[in-house]
Amino acid sequence: MNDARMTIRLPGDSLLFAKEYAAQTGTTVTDLVIGYFDRIRATFSGDGVPKSVRKVAGIVPSSVDSKEEYRRHLLERYS
């Protein structure tokens, strides 16, 4: 993929922190931004449901009454 330029506006203290953090960790602000977007991409499924939720969806059988189980949990915990 071709690189592209982007200009963003940040509060001065945020930019200063990013530069200091990048220098201390031996990276660049650009690499910090790329890493952040890569983490977002890794969790994004496109339909608004995080991949981590989609991964565990359907584990609980439909025969389980979730409201009743949660009520029972609360009674046990706070009784």
| Residue 28 clears pLDDT 90, i.e. is over it | yes
Position 30 pLDDT exceeds 90? yes
- Under 8 Å between Cβ of 66 and 58: no
pLDDT number for residue 7: 94
Q: Which two tokens stand for residue 22?
A: 């990048």
| Angle made by CA atoms 69, 73, 77, in degrees to the nearest 5 | 175
Q: What is the pLDDT of residues 48-64, one digit of tens each?
A: 788 888 888 888 888 99
Read off the pLDDT band of 8 (50, 70, 90). very high
Cβ–Cβ < 8 Å for 28, 20: no
- Return all residues near 15 (Cβ < 8 A) that are at least 6 apart: 29
